[in-house]
Structure 1
Amino acid sequence: MTRRIRTLLAAALVLGVAAGPASPAAASSPAAPAAPSAAGAHGAPALGALRAVLDELPNAHATAALVRVGDAGDAWQDSGGVHDLRSGRPADPNGRFRAGSVTKVFTAATVLQLAADGEVDLARPVRHYLPDLIPARYGGVTVRQLLDHTHGLPDGDFPGTDVHEWYAHRFDVHDPRAIVASATAKTRVAPPGKVQRYSNIGYTVAGLLVERVTGDTYENQVARRILRPLGLQDTYLPGASPRIRGPHNRGYQVFPMPDGTSELRDVTVWGVTDGWAAGDLISTTADLERFLVALFDGRVVPEPYLKEMFTLPADAPGATMSAGLQRYVLPDGRVVWLKTGGRWGYNTLIAATEDLSRTLVYSVNSTDAKGRGGNPVTEAITRAAFGVPSRPAPSGPPAA
C-alpha cells in the first residue's frame, strides 16, 4: 500500500469511519497534482503529462482514472490510482463505470435512427407522439428540440436539496412518466427553440418517445440498435439496480459536515432511475471508444441524420449543444465534439475531432463528480490529450 493510500486511510480511521464498501470513509486532502506543463508539438497528445497526472492518483480530487487517446490511427491507454481505498490495489483499467450523461448520446442516436427509419419526424411536435404525457401548453415542442436542449421544459421534481439528502434517497426508484408529469405541470422556462438550457428532462421524454413509437422498452431498443451491433459487451442499462455488475473501481464522494470538516464516503452503490435515458448507462473506456469512432464514422446514425449531431440550433443565441453532443473550439482552432457525464463517484468524457484525428475517452473517479467548479484531474487529462498547454480545457455542460 503506498504512502498516499496510507495517509487517506489513516485519516479515515482517526475519524472512526471505516473505509470500505459498506461504510462511509473520511479522508485527508493531499495536494492536487500540478497541471501538465507542456503539450505535444502541433497539438499532439502530451503523453508524458498524461502519465504524470495518473501517477499522482489517488489525491484530493480523484481516486482513479482510466484514459484512452486516439491520434490518427495510433492508440494510447493507461490508468492510475486505486481500485478502492481499503486495499490500495491498482485500478482495474478495464473496469466498468457509470457514464452519466454520456447516455444522452446513445439516446439521441436511437431517436435519429428512428427518424432515418421514417418512424419519427424530428420537426413534428412531441405531443403528436405522446398526447397523454405532453399537455397542450407544450404542444409546440418538437422532437429535435428535445435533443438539442431548446425545448423550454422545466425540470422534474426529486426529493432533496443537497448531497446529504440525495444520499438518503439514493435507493429511490423513479418513474419517468411521473418525472415528466411533475415537469409539465409547471410553467415553461423559455419558448421552444429560442433558448438552449442543458437539462435531463428532454432526454427523459425522448426515452418515453422511443418506447411509444416502437412498442418496446427503451433499454431493448438501445441494445438492439447500438450495443449488440457494435459488440459493446460491457455496456448496459441497469434499470432499477443500484449496483454495477462485473469488475469496477469504487467511487467516492466528499460530504461536507456540520462542524466544517468533510467525510469521504463510498458511493459506488447508488440508484440511477432519476437519470434513466438521460444518464443511467454503465460502460467501459474500450466500449465508449468503439462507440465514439463508429458514431463519427457514420456506422450508428446514417446521413443525413448524423448531421444533426454536428449542427447547432440556429435560433438559440450562444448555443453550443447539438443532438447529443457539444461543440468546443480549441485555442488552435480545432473543433472538438464531446459529451461529459457525471454520477456520484464517476466522471466520464467522450470527445473527438469530427475527422477522428484525435479521440479521448476517460473515466475519472472524482471525489466531487457533480461539482460545478470543474475537476483539476479531468481538466489536466483533457488538456494533455488534445495538446493544449493551458486552460481553458474542453468541458461539457454541468454533468448530470
Structure 2
Amino acid sequence: MKRTHLALVTATIALAVMAAPTAALATPRAADRTGLQEQLDGIAADSGVGALMEVRDADGIWRGTSGVAKQGTSQAVPEHAHFRAGSITKTFVATVTLQLVDEGRLRLDDTVEAWLPGVVPNGDRITVRQLLSHTSGVPDYLPTLTMPPAPQFLDNRWRTWTAQELIDRAVANPPTFEPPGSRYKYSNTGYLLLGQIIKEATGRSYGKEIERRIIRPLGLHHTSLPGTSPRIPGPHPYGYVPILEGGTMHLVDYTQMNPSVMGASGEIISTTSDLNRFMAALLGGRLLPDHLLDAMKTPGVEGGSYGLGLKWQDTSCGIRAYGNDGDAVAYESWSFSTQDQHRQVTVALTPNFRRDPEGAVDALLDKAICD
C-alpha cells in the first residue's frame, strides 16, 4: 500500500506513548558511514520502534540498525530482518506486467474491459498503462475500510479478502476524475486489477508469476508473497498500529495479520538485501528490455514523478534515484537505486506514529546516494 497512508494516520493522532529506546546496533565499518548511522538513530528515536537499512556502493555493503525489535525490550533489530514491504510490491507487479507486454501476451493500451469484462464501470476507457501509472481514475479501496486508530480496525485482522471484494468496494464509488489518463491519483485498486489481469493472461496468479519470473531467477531467497498466511518468516522486528481504547492511545502488536487485504497492491515480504538486489537488477536491464524500462521511468502525467510502477526522486547532488516506497501499516519501507546501479539503499521502519518520518528518511536517502 502507499507509504503516505502512514503519514495520514500519523497526522490524525497524537500517541501518549514513550519513545522507544534507541542504540546503534551495527557499527559502521568506515568513518564515512557514521553520518548514516546517526541519521538512522534519529529516525528511530523520533518516529520508530526500530529501523534498519542497507547501502550498496563501490565501497561494499554497509548495514545499520537502530531502536529495538520489540517494544519494551532491549532486543536488537536483526540486521537481516524480514519485513512487510507494502507498495514496493507494485514494482514487482509492474515488472511482470511489462514482461508480458514484451512477450506480446498483453498490450499497454489494452483496456480493463478486454481482460476483465464488467468488473469496472467504463472499463472500456481505462488501459493497462493507466492502471500502472495511477492515472485511471479508479477509486482506491483503502478509504472504504476502517483504519487506525479505530478499535474496529482489529476486527478484520484475520479476515481473508478476495481481490474482487475489494475491487467491488472501490468501484461502488464514482471515479476520482474523468476522463481516464487526465490526472494522477494513487489507487491501490489499480494494482488489484493488474493482479487479476496477470492471472487472465498467464493462467497463474500474480504471486506465482512474480516467484517464477523475478524471485527465483534473481535468487531473492528471503522474498515471499504470503497470500493469506499471517506470519512473517525468518527474523523480523515486531510491527505495531495505534489504537484508541478507553480514551487512551496505545500501540498494539500487529506483526501477524492476514495480508490478503493488501494483495497485489502491497503483500510482499522481503529484506533490505533482497530489495537492493531487485532494484539493481531492474535498473540494470536484467528484467526488462530498454524500451519498456524507459516506459517504466516515464511519468504518467507531465511533470510527475511516478511512471509504470516505479517512482523517482532527485537528490541534492543531482543524481536521480529510482525505486518505490511502501506502507504496510505496521511496517514502512523505501528502496531506491541510481540509474547506473552504483548505489542502492533500502530502509525499513516499524513506526511509532509519534511523527511522520518522511522528511528525515528523504534526508537519509539523499545522504546515502550522494556521500
Scaled to the shorter chain, the TM-score interval is: 0.7 to 0.9
Listed one character per residue, the Cα deviations across residues 18-57 of structure 1 (whole Å, up to 9, x for unaligned) are xxxxxxx984137999xxxxxxxxxxx9622211234458
Q: Does 1:189 align with 2:176?
A: yes
When the two chains are superposed, the root-mean-square deviation of aligned CA atoms in Å is 2.6
Listed one character per residue, the Cα deviations across residues 299-339 of structure 1 (whole Å, up to 9, x for unaligned) are 112232111221112xx344221011112222332222221
Deviation at 1:228, TM superposition (A): 0.6
| Pair 1:186–1:27, CA change in 2 (3 A) | closer
Q: Does 1:219 align with 2:207?
A: yes
Question: Could you tell me the percent identity over the aligned residues?
Answer: 32
Which residue matches 1:51?
A: 37
Which residue matches 1:365?
A: 350
Per the normalisation by structure 1, the TM-score is 0.80
Which residue matches 2:75?
A: 89
Which of the residues 221, 242, 253 maps onto 1:233?
Answer: 221
Give the length in aligned residue pairs: 347
Which of the residues 153, 163, 178 maps onto 2:165?
Answer: 178
Which residue matches 1:386?
A: 369
Listed one character per residue, the Cα deviations across residues 96-148 of structure 1 (whole Å, up to 9, x for unaligned) are 1000000000000010010111101111212111114234x231111111101
Which of the residues 249, 268, 274 maps onto 2:237?
Answer: 249
Distance between the aligned counterparts of 1:223 and 1:336, measured in 2?
A: 25
Matches within 5 A, 1:7-46: 27-29=17-19
Which residue matches 2:331?
A: 346
SS in 2 for 1:65: strand
Which residue matches 1:104?
A: 90
Is the 1:159–1:169 Cα contact (8 Å) retained in structure 2? no
| Pair 1:195–1:329, CA change in 2 (3 A) | same
Q: Does 1:114 align with 2:100?
A: yes
Distance between the aligned counterparts of 1:286 and 1:320, measured in 2?
A: 25
Which residue matches 2:125?
A: 140
Deviation at 1:374, TM superposition (A): 3.8
Per the normalisation by structure 2, the TM-score is 0.86
Which of the residues 156, 161, 165 maps onto 1:169?
Answer: 156
Mean alpha-carbon deviation: is it higher for 343-352 or for 125-134?
125-134
Which residue matches 1:324?
A: 309
Distance between the aligned counterparts of 2:145 and 2:43, measured in 1?
A: 34
Distance between the aligned counterparts of 2:41 and 2:304, measured in 1?
A: 37
Which residue matches 2:193?
A: 205
Matches within 5 A, 1:291-330: 291-313=278-300, 316-330=301-315
Listed one character per residue, the Cα deviations across residues 268-306 of structure 1 (whole Å, up to 9, x for unaligned) are 112221210110000111111111111111111223211
Is the 2:21–2:67 Cα contact (8 Å) retained in structure 1? no
Distance between the aligned counterparts of 1:332 and 1:376, measured in 2?
A: 17
Distance between the aligned counterparts of 1:26 and 1:245, measured in 2?
A: 31
Give the aligned residue type for 1:83.
A
Give the aligned residue type for 2:81.
G
Which of the residues 63, 66, 86 maps onto 1:77?
Answer: 63
Query: Where in structure 1 are there 5+ consecutive unaligned residues?
Result: 1-24, 34-44, 389-400
| Pair 1:236–1:227, CA change in 2 (3 A) | same
Deviation at 1:78, TM superposition (A): 1.9
Is the 2:47–2:357 Cα contact (8 Å) retained in structure 1? no
Mean alpha-carbon deviation: is it higher for 157-166 or for 203-212?
157-166
Deviation at 1:253, TM superposition (A): 3.0
Which of the residues 317, 338, 341 maps onto 1:356?
Answer: 341
Is the 1:346–1:363 Cα contact (8 Å) retained in structure 2? yes
Distance between the aligned counterparts of 1:89 and 1:327, measured in 2?
A: 34
SS in 2 for 1:139: helix
Distance between the aligned counterparts of 2:22 and 2:72, measured in 1?
A: 21
Distance between the aligned counterparts of 2:270 and 2:127, measured in 1?
A: 30
Listed one character per residue, the Cα deviations across residues 223-254 of structure 1 (whole Å, up to 9, x for unaligned) are 00111111111110011122212221111233
SS in 1 for 2:101: helix
Matches within 5 A, 1:152-163: 152-156=137-141, 158-163=144-149
